[in-house]
Amino acid sequence: MPGPSHLDHPARIGPYRILDRLGEGGMGTVYLGADDSGGKVAIKVIRKEHAADPRYRARFESEVAAAQRVRPFCTAPVLDADPRADPPYLVTEFVSGSSLQEAAPLRGADLEALAVGMASALTAIHDAGVVHRDLKPANVLLSPYGPRVIDFGIARGADATRLTATGGLVGTPTFMSPEQLNGRDATPASDVFAWGATLAFAASGRPCFGGSTLPAIIHQILTAEPELRGLDGTLLTVVRAALAKDPAGRPTAQQLLQRLVSSTQQPATQPGTQSAPPPPPPSVHVQQPLPPPAMGSDESAALVERQYRLAAEAGDTAAMYNLGVLLKWRGQTAEAEYWYRRAAAGQQTYNRAPYQTAYNRPVAYNTPAPTHAGAHGYAQPRYNSAAVYAITFGVLGMFTCGLPSIPAIIAGHMGWVKVKRTGERGAGMAAAGIALGWIMVAFWVLIAIGWAIGDDTSGSTP
C-alpha cells in the first residue's frame, strides 16, 4: 500500500504521471503512477548509478524478459517496460493490499488459500523458465482478490548467467535455501524452500529459522530443523517436505499445488515422479469417472484453471478474478469479462477494505445476480431493472409531451450506477433513458423561455 508521501519524486516517468513513492530497494525505486486513463500502476525505476553499469542494465533487461514470460495469475502482470530508457523502468499492475509481512499470522482457510496462491504463482514462474530467487513475506501482497507474488528484482532465467553486484549473495538470508547459502546458484528447488519458509512465517508470524545474528540464522538454516508452529495436517506435511535440506528431496512447485488441492492425504513424491493410486480390490469393478478436460496449454496450467473454475462456480470471488486473468491472457476475452463482472459483484461485500481485514474475519459473499444461458455457453447477468425503466420512460416521454422524462433521468442514473457496481447488463439502456429524458426537459425549457419572452409589439403601429 502507498507509504508516506515524498516530495522528491519525478513528475513523470515515460508516459506515466507519478503520484507517490511506494518503496526503495537495492536496484531501484518503486513509484505509484497513473496512466492516461487514470488507472494506477506500479513503476520500478533502476537507479541511475546502476543503469550506467552494463552488468546492472543487463540484469534489468533480464528481469523484463523474465517477467513477460510469466503467466499473470497470482503475480503482478507486466504492463509496460523500457529497459533502454534513461533511467530504465518496468510497469506492472498496482496491487492494493497489505504485505504478508504485515498481515501474519493467518489461520485456517486463509492460510490454506495463501499456500495454494503462492504455489500457483511459483508454478507459473517456473513454467516460464524463471527463478524468483527472493520469495519472502514482503514480496507477497494480499490483495482483495488473493495473494500476489511480486518483485522480480532478482529474478532471472533458469538458463542465464548469475549476475551480482559484488559477487555476494542475492536474496534475503532468512528465507534462503541451504544451497544458496553455500554459494551455489538458485534453482526452482530454492524457490520451493523459500515457499516453505514463507508459509511457516505466515502461520506463526515469525521466521521458522530463528537467530539474533546473521551467522546464527545461517547456521540454523544449514543444520537445524525448522520450527513449524501453527501448521498441521496436509500443510504441515507439505511445508516440511519443501524445507528439506537436500534440494533433490523437495517437491516441485507443481507437486506442491497438486498436494494442496488434493482431497486425500498422499505420501510425498520425489521431484519428477508420479504416485500411482492403489489398485481396487479384484472382486470390485470400479468405473473410473471421466477427467475434466484439460483447459490449459500444459498440465500445470490445466490443473490451476480447473481449480479456479471449480472455486469460481462455488462463489469464490478471488477465484473468479484469477480465472478471468488466466482466460484473458489466453485470448478468451468474452468469458474473462464475465468472470470479472461476477468478481466485482461479489467484491462489494469487502467494501474496499484492506485484504488483511478480509483475511482476519469471516466474509459473507453476495449472492450473484440471476443469470441465464448465453450464446457462449456460459451464464450471463440479467438486465438491470432500473435501466429497463429508464429506457421505457424515456421513450414514453417522446410520445406524451415529456411527462415521464424526470423519472427516466432518475431511473437512468440509478441503473447506470447499479450496472457498473454489480456487472448486470443495461448500461446502454440507462444512458439512452437519461439522454431521452434530458432532451424532453430541454424541449420544455425552450418552450418556457419562448412563452416568457412573448410577442415583441414595440415596433407596431396602432
Contact yes or no for 197/171 (Cβ under 8 A): no
Contact yes or no for 384/419 (Cβ under 8 A): yes
DSSP string covering 153-193: TT-EETTSPP--SSS---S-GGG--HHHHTTPPP-HHHHHH
Contact yes or no for 196/243 (Cβ under 8 A): yes
Rounded Cα–Cα distance for residues 413 and 382 (Å): 18
Rounded Cα–Cα distance for residues 28 and 89 (Å): 9
| 418: Cβ contacts below 8 Å, ≥ 6 apart | 384, 386, 387, 424
Q: Is 134 annotated as catalytic?
A: yes
Contact yes or no for 81/90 (Cβ under 8 A): yes
By DSSP bridging, strand 16-24 and strand 12-13 are antiparallel
SS3 339: helix
Write out the three cell numbers for 305: 484453471
Rounded Cα–Cα distance for residues 28 and 47 (Å): 5
Write out the three cell numbers for 121: 504463482
Flag whether 48 is marked binding: yes
Rounded Cα–Cα distance for residues 91 and 157 (Å): 19
The CA distances from residue 17 to 37, 62, 219, in Å, are 11, 25, 46
Residue 281 Cα to chain centre, angstroms: 45
By DSSP bridging, strand 89-93 and strand 40-46 are antiparallel
Rounded Cα–Cα distance for residues 222 and 385 (Å): 64
Could you say which of 35, 36, 127, 134 is catalytic?
134
Rounded Cα–Cα distance for residues 4 and 346 (Å): 31
Helix axes 333-347 and 317-329, enclosed angle (nearest 10): 160
| 156: Cβ contacts below 8 Å, ≥ 6 apart | 59, 62, 63, 66, 130, 131, 133, 162, 163
Rounded Cα–Cα distance for residues 276 and 291 (Å): 16
Residue 443 Cα to chain centre, angstroms: 49
Instruction: Indicate the annotated binding residues for ATP.
Output: 48
Residues labelled as active-site residues: 134
